[in-house]
Amino acid sequence: MTDKRTIRVDTLARVEGEGALDLHIQDGTVVQAQLRIFEPPRLFEALLRGRAYTEAPDITARICGICPIAYQMGAVHAMEYALGLKVDGPLRALRRLAYCGEWIESHALHVVMLHAPDFLGYPDAIQMARDHGPMLNRALALKKAGNEIIRVLGGREVHPVNIKLGGFYRVPSRSELKPLAAALDSALEHAIELLSWASTFPFPDFERDYEFVALRHPGEYPFNEGRIVSSAGVDLPVCDYESVFEERHAAHSTALRSVIKGRGGYLVGPLARYALNFDRLPEHIRSLARDAGLKPICRNPFKSLLVRAVELVYACDEALRLISCYEMPDRPAVEGLPRGAVGYGCTEAPRGICYHRYEIDADGTILGARIVPPTSQNQLSIEADLRQVASRSLHLPESELRALCEQTIRNYDPCISCSAHFLKLTVHRERVSHDSPC
């Protein structure tokens, strides 16, 4: 007799994008977990072809309303690579500041509004607000602080328009950054309180031996620059990304799925970044992480919430440091001329590394583009987590198992809008007896 069950959850809430999950269980084992992404492909790579090299940052910013900076930064770094441009000094610092803004707004939204309700037993943040109002207020203030950074540097909070190859269209004066610092002083306190609060959550006891992949920079916790490294020994310049990583198509998903050639799935995002760069965090942030119960390496995907909270503290702290050191540059951007070349860029979006490659011709027309967002890279890991989490939780009542599966997916803060670009979770449970005709 074979016991075959299919569990169905039709709609996954609190994720960005549309998709579904099918979970097939046979004889007490999860035999298949398919993350089905059915949002139509958005074809950004195709629509970039034939456009000017200067247009890539503004076009790619439209891939995501939550993490447009990641796409803009990937695009400008890749194009600057192609042109042989180097951006440093205050312009580079402003780019890091923009990235801090994006991490603050994205992590605050996910940690408190989207993920915390799972751990505290509420259906959503609105229900949670009645009992945890002060934390919700802290999250709202953090989100506003992040938005303000993006507004000041990007011209507006959503799909910023002030970022260009070589720097910015306009750079802020020191006095324009001053109000940001005042808000960030409070934001830093909010973030530290959120981390302390999150450290009390009941985290499921679950670990998996991931291959972590992240950027690593000689002196910084990574945002914009670094080599691509992994916990299993990958150590590459960004231009060699495709020699080790490849995208594959699966019939059940409109998003391509990335693997390490010859090995399979891997993990990008907060857990990977933290494990591979713990020593790059300032000591006072490491100390806060330890106080929250985190070791230098964390393999529990549910505790990604805690790591995001650590990164939230770091982003506020780093933003304050960058603002305090800022001197307005002489010019808002360095200029460069196009040439026939291939450019590569990879930056740390809130959800993990985001890779860009562009081929341009001598007059700067884009001939080809490849963009690999973090959620595409994490699809196999999401499915593997689900198989294992579900396998050991089959004794749970249907509704609890379904909730746990959704929570497992939300560990990744999946931005399905970016990967193809929205998620419905569909888990199925069926019981079939081969001994019986019915």
Contact letters for other proteins, residues 39-78 (x by CB under 8 A): --------------------------x-------------
Contact status, residue 206 vs residue 384, Cβ threshold 8 Å: no
Alpha carbon distance 435, 438 (integer Å): 9
Is residue 18 a contact point for other proteins (CB under 8 A)? no
String of DSSP letters for 88-141: -HHHHHHHHHHHHHHHHHHHHIIIIIIIHHHHHT-SSHHHHHHHHHHHHHHHHH
Alpha carbon distance 412, 223 (integer Å): 18
Task: Report CA 15 to chain centroid distance, whole Å.
Answer: 12
Question: Could you tell me which stretch among 70-78, 150-158, 337-345, 366-374 binds other proteins (CB under 8 A)?
Answer: 150-158
Which residues 75-104 are close enough to bind other proteins by CB under 8 A?
none
Nearer to other proteins, 134 or 179 (CB): 134
Nearer to other proteins, 140 or 341 (CB): 140
Question: Could you tell me which stretch among 44-52, 139-147, 174-182, 250-258 binds other proteins (CB under 8 A)?
Answer: 139-147
String of DSSP letters for 233-294: S-EE-GGGHHHHEEEE--TT-SS-EEEETTTB--B-SHHHHHHHHGGGS-HHHHHHHHHTT-
Nearer to other proteins, 138 or 357 (CB): 138
Alpha carbon distance 311, 297 (integer Å): 14
Is residue 137 a contact point for other proteins (CB under 8 A)? yes
Nearer to other proteins, 16 or 385 (CB): 16
Q: Which residue has the tokens 């192609």?
A: 82
| CB environment 163-175: b (16+ within 10 A), e (fewer) | bbbbbbeebbeee
Tokens of 375: 């959620």
Nearer to other proteins, 86 or 156 (CB): 156
Alpha carbon distance 86, 215 (integer Å): 19
CB atoms within 10 A of CB 241: 22
Is residue 113 a contact point for other proteins (CB under 8 A)? yes
**Least spacing, CB of residue 109 vs other proteins, in Å:** 7
**Least spacing, CB of residue 425 vs other proteins, in Å:** 15
Amino acid letter for position 202 = P
Which of 96, 138, 257, 421 is close enough to bind other proteins by CB under 8 A?
Answer: 138
Is residue 136 a contact point for other proteins (CB under 8 A)? yes
Give the number of residues in contact with other proteins, rule: CB under 8 A: 23
Is residue 432 a contact point for other proteins (CB under 8 A)? no
For 371, the 3-state DSSP assignment is: strand
Nearer to other proteins, 84 or 133 (CB): 133
**Least spacing, CB of residue 15 vs other proteins, in Å:** 9
**Least spacing, CB of residue 216 vs other proteins, in Å:** 33
Which of 1, 130, 205, 251 is close enough to bind other proteins by CB under 8 A?
Answer: 130
- CA distances (Å), origin 256, targets 238, 347, 374, 375, 379: 20, 19, 11, 10, 9
Is residue 126 a contact point for other proteins (CB under 8 A)? yes
**Least spacing, CB of residue 50 vs other proteins, in Å:** 18
Is residue 111 a contact point for other proteins (CB under 8 A)? no
Nearer to other proteins, 140 or 342 (CB): 140
Which residues 153-212 are close enough to bind other proteins by CB under 8 A?
156-158
Alpha carbon distance 254, 249 (integer Å): 8
Alpha carbon distance 424, 420 (integer Å): 13
Q: Which residues bind other proteins (CB under 8 A)?
A: 14, 16, 65, 109, 113, 125-127, 129-130, 133-134, 136-138, 140-141, 143-144, 147, 156-158
